[in-house]
Amino acid sequence: MSEVSESEYKGNPMIVLKATAEDKFPFQFGIKKAKLVLAHVEDIKRFVAKHGGE
């Protein structure tokens, strides 16, 4: 099951997304990229649908 947590990098807040609790290479990003993702969430959904995502 996926896992979401927060961390910090050089004093900046980060969100950390793991596919599993044991994931060695989590996907993590800060506020600037989080805002970009939120602005384009519908585009991301279309991309996943187009390319056979779950």
Rounded distance, CA 8 to CA 46, Å? 31
With a cut of 90, say whether residue 2 has pLDDT above it. Answer: yes
- CA distances 16 to 24, 46, 49, 52, Å, are 12, 23, 24, 24
Q: For residue 48, what are the contacts with CB-CB under 8 A and spacing of at least 6?
A: 54
With a cut of 80, say whether residue 54 has pLDDT above it. Answer: no
Convert the pLDDT of each residue in 23-34 to its tens digit.
999 999 999 999
With a cut of 70, say whether residue 53 has pLDDT above it. Answer: no
pLDDT band at 1 (very low <50, low <70, confident <90, very high): confident
pLDDT band at 16 (very low <50, low <70, confident <90, very high): very high
